[in-house]
């Protein structure tokens, strides 16, 4: 049986992060193959990947959720966290990074630094993780390592330090020079095997320059080293090797490695660097916590009381709910009891597991710094803190507002309760999902980061919960409002049907209000023209009739009503009669004063590459939007705009398409504006409500 119990000092937790299609999962699979965990190269498309094992990932051919696997290399336990790089799922990546000590930032050599690369780097820096760069796909067409280095320096505003020098690129790529070993490693085809030799003379200057950069970086980690370096401009090989881990841990040296992972080139060299230079959990930077309302930091310690953060939750069709947590203090208590700080409930941590994709290896003990899975906790979710006697919680990631939403309706009748439970479980598994309710469409709304995100969630719902749903964009919440003031409008309800009759008369004025003011009711009755007990009934009738406007059936808003006079009968006047009088009065006001449509508009902040500004501004105009301003940020530009909701319900996939996946945006409700007259007829015709009057309004 393989060893599963490791000392904390012998654990390395690495997160493979970066833009989609940079080869993160391929690197993970190469690591598992090289360390003997697997016997063949896992493939997402072929359905043999250890990391991309969900059917939705196989169908899509890429990661949509973080996956975990561990291996043993040189006596160290390496926990590999393979994260998605697609913008739809990037916050799953950010959540899982809280389990890592080192972020391995993967860059595609042909594509260089992309938008999710920058976001992953920023999040790793925010978390205080050590960082290593891997320039992958060195053997692919258009591979340009020099451009990658230049873009790392310019886009991320850091100076990367090469621990390796590539020999060639694209079709000329033949190997890697280790600056540390002072050796050239020539690789043989796609076997990953290499032959060590002397460094070719044409690379001598590049190797020397890299070595000088290493000396300068490690000198900054220690005052004595700095003094010696300033005196002699030299440090010994041994001094540099000994200082490298601290330099990487403190972020003073961000090393660069080269790989062609699909052909297993550079895998062992990366693993060597991880076990030698990446920090162990004992060297983890302090982590953010919340103690009450105060924000503090916690020093990670193996000697402290048990505390862990849940970095992933998912539902396995066969073994049920799984929670994956990273131990940031102490070890799992011997009795397995831990308190969920959010709920206050005690959870029983049963059998502990180390994950390899969807396979599990039982652990003897949950030691400090390890990443552990446990099944069937009662009410524990991603971002929760599990602890023994802790008065704090680890600070949870803040997720952005959703960028797209679908109404979802069960195809089979009687499954509505089941739908609600399924959606709640999906949100537990993926906190970037949320739910709402479309009052107009009377349907549950599933909200997410984009169309692909929502479609994948619906696919999971079908597979995991056996629920068939139909999806559609929510109805746009148009409103109707009065065009002009009208005065002294009568609402009269008189009904005689055998017994006691119904009688009520009211006279009202109505006028438009400014946008966003809603509805105002002003009681101006004097002299008892309407008894006081019936005045609320008039208002109630008006408000109820405003729920469906006469133009297209949308709610009426932004108007004031003055109740100025009325008539009553001492016997036949009742509350219901004055409600009906109010309904008829407001309907007559709307008919006489005229009605127009209003549409919801949203303020948008759109972050895009600066070279896309012209295209995006033109697109905003084509969507009837208005650009309010722009803020340049390095090579990015943030466009501030206001757009009608009807034109941007599918903006998430459209923006990604227009910017090659580099554009992101946020949106927030701004208010209502008049619908252009040339669009009113079409909206009225397509309204699912219409402006039909009920019988009592005739």
CATH number at residue 441: 3.30.70.870
Is position 231 within any domain? yes
**Phi then psi dihedrals of residue 602, to 5 deg:** -125, 140
> Over the stretch 495-544, which tens digit does the pLDDT of each residue have?
877 667 899 999 999 999 999 999 999 999 998 999 999 999 999 999 99
Q: Are residues 465 and 486 in the same domain?
A: no
Q: What is the CATH number of the domain that holds 317?
A: 2.40.30.10
Most confident of 213-222, 313-322, 536-545, 688-697: 536-545
Q: Are residues 522 and 564 in the same domain?
A: yes
Tokens of 472: 């559609």
Average pLDDT over residues 55-84: 90
Q: Are residues 24 and 100 in the same domain?
A: yes
Q: Where residue 3 falls among pLDDT bands split at 50, 70, 90? A: low
Q: Are residues 501 and 558 in the same domain?
A: yes
Is position 4 within any domain? no
Pick from 149-153, 402-406, 592-596: least confident: 402-406
* The total number of structural domains that make up the chain: 4
Is position 399 within any domain? no
Q: Are residues 661 and 583 in the same domain?
A: yes
Tokens of 380: 């524990």
Yes or no: say if 326 and 308 are a contact pair by the CB < 8 Å rule.
Answer: yes
Average pLDDT over residues 66-79: 96
Contacts of 177 (CB under 8 A, 6+ apart): 164, 165, 166, 167, 183, 184, 185, 199, 203, 207
Strands 67-73 and 76-82: antiparallel
Q: What is the CATH number of the domain that holds 531?
A: 3.30.230.10
| 21-27-28 Cα angle (round to 5) | 110
Is position 307 within any domain? yes
What is the pLDDT, as a whole number, of residue 521? 98
Average pLDDT over residues 163-191: 92
Q: Are residues 461 and 513 in the same domain?
A: no
Average pLDDT, the chain: 92
Separation CA 137–CA 125 (nearest Å): 25
Read off the DSSP letter of residue 402: P
Q: Does residue 222 surpass a pLDDT of 70?
A: yes
Last residue of a domain, one of 472, 489, 523: 472
Q: Are residues 641 and 546 in the same domain?
A: yes
Q: What HEC string does 348-369 produce?
A: ECCCCEEEECCEEEECCCCCCC
Separation CA 520–CA 543 (nearest Å): 10
Last residue of a domain, one of 337, 360, 394: 394
Is position 1 within any domain? no
Tokens of 466: 């056996």
Q: Are residues 58 and 126 in the same domain?
A: yes
What is the pLDDT, as a whole number, of residue 417? 86
Q: Are residues 291 and 246 in the same domain?
A: no
Q: What is the CATH number of the domain that holds 177?
A: 3.40.50.300
Pick from 24-28, 166-170, 187-191, 255-259: least confident: 187-191
Tokens of 482: 């009065």
Read off the DSSP letter of residue 245: H
Assign 70 to helix, strand or coil.
Answer: strand
Average pLDDT over residues 64-87: 94
Q: Where residue 662 falls among pLDDT bands split at 50, 70, 90? A: confident
**Phi then psi dihedrals of residue 66, to 5 deg:** -70, 140
Is position 3 within any domain? no
The DSSP element (H or E) to which 424 belongs, if any, is helix 416-429
Percent of the chain with pLDDT over 70: 97
Is position 419 within any domain? yes
Q: Are residues 467 and 359 in the same domain?
A: no
> Over the stretch 286-304, which tens digit does the pLDDT of each residue have?
999 999 889 999 999 999 9
Average pLDDT over residues 579-592: 97
Q: Are residues 144 and 42 in the same domain?
A: yes
Q: Does residue 1 surpass a pLDDT of 50?
A: no
Domain encompassing residue 347: 287-394
Last residue of a domain, one of 416, 449, 472: 472
> Over the stretch 325-364, which tens digit does the pLDDT of each residue have?
999 999 999 999 999 999 999 999 999 999 998 888 999 9
Pick from 70-84, 177-191, 264-278, 572-586: least confident: 177-191
Which residue would you say has higher pLDDT here, 87 or 481?
481
Q: Are residues 146 and 112 in the same domain?
A: yes
């Amino acid at each position: 049986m393989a060893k599963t119990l490791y000392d904390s000092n012998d654990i390395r937790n690495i997160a493979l992060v970066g833009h989609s299609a940079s080869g993160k999962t391929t690197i993970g699979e190469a690591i598992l193959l090289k360390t003997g965990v697997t016997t063949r190269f896992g493939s997402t498309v072929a359905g043999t990947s250890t990391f991309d094992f969900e059917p939705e990932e196989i169908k899509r051919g890429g990661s949509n959720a973080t996956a975990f696997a561990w291996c043993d290399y040189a006596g160290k336990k390496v926990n590999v966290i393979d994260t998605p790089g697609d913008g739809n799922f990037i916050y799953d990546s950010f959540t899982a990074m809280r389990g890592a000590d080192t972020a391995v930032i993967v860059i595609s050599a042909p594509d260089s630094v992309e938008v999710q690369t920058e976001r992953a780097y920023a999040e790793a820096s925010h978390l205080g993780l050590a960082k290593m760069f891997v320039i992958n796909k060195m053997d692919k067409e258009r591979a340009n390592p020099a451009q990658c280095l230049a873009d790392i320096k310019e886009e991320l505003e850091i100076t990367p330090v090469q621990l390796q020098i590539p020999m060639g690129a694209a079709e000329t790529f033949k190997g890697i020079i280790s600056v540390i070993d002072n050796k050239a490693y020539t690789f043989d085809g796609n076997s990953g095997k290499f032959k060590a030799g002397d460094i070719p003379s044409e690379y001598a200057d590049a190797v020397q320059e890299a070595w000088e950069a290493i000396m300068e970086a490690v000198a900054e980690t220690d005052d004595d080293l700095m003094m010696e370096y300033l005196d002699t401009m030299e440090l010994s090989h041994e001094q540099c090797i000994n200082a490298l881990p601290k330099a990487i841990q403190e972020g003073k040296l961000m090393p660069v490695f080269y790989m062609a992972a699909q052909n297993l080139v550079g895998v062992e060299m990366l693993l060597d660097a991880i076990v030698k230079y990446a920090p162990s959990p004992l060297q983890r930077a302090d982590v953010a916590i919340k103690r009450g309302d105060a924000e503090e930091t916690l020093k990670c310690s193996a000697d402290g009381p048990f505390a862990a953060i849940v970095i992933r939750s998912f539902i396995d069709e066969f073994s049920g709910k799984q929670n994956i947590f990273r131990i940031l203090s102490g070890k799992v208590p011997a009795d397995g009891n831990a308190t969920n700080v959010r709920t206050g409930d005690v959870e029983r941590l049963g059998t502990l597991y180390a994950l390899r994709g969807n396979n599990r290896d039982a652990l003897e003990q949950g030691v400090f710094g390890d990443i552990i899975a446990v099944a069937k906790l009662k009410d524990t979710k991603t971002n929760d803190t599990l602890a023994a006697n802790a008065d704090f919680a680890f600070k949870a990631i803040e997720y952005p507002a959703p960028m797209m939403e679908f109404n979802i309706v069960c195809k089979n009748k009687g499954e509505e309760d089941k739908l609600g439970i399924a959606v709640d479980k999906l949100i537990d598994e993926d906190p970037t999902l949320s739910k709402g309710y479309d009052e107009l469409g009377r349907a549950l709304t599933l909200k997410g980061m984009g169309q692909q995100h929502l479609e994948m969630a619906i696919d999971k719902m079908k597979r995991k919960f056996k629920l068939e749903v139909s999806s559609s964009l929510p109805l746009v919440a148009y409103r109707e409002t009065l065009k002009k003031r009208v005065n002294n409008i009568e609402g009269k309800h008189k009904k005689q049907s055998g017994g006691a009759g119904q009688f009520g008369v009211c006279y009202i004025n109505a006028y438009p209000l400014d946008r966003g003011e809603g509805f105002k009711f002003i009681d101006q009755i004097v002299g008892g023209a309407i008894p006081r007990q019936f005045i609320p009934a008039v208002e109630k009738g008006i408000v109820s009739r405003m729920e469906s406007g006469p133009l297209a059936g949308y709610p009426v808003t932004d108007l004031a009503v003055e109740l100025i006079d009325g008539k009553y009968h001492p016997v036949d006047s009742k509350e219901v009669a004055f409600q009906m009088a109010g309904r008829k009065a407001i309907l007559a006001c709307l008919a006489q004063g005229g009605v127009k449509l209003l549409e919801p508009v949203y303020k948008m902040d759109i972050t895009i590459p600066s070279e896309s500004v012209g295209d995006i501004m033109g697109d905003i105009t084509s969507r009837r939007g208005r650009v309010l301003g722009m803020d340049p940020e390095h090579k990015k530009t943030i466009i501030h705009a206001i757009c009608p909701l009807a034109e941007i319900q599918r903006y998430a996939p459209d923006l990604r398409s227009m910017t090659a996946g580099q554009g992101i945006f946020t949106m927030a409700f701004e208010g209502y504006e008049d619908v252009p007259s040339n669009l009113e007829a079409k909206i009225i015709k397509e309204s699912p409500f219409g402006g039909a009057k009920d019988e009592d309004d005739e």
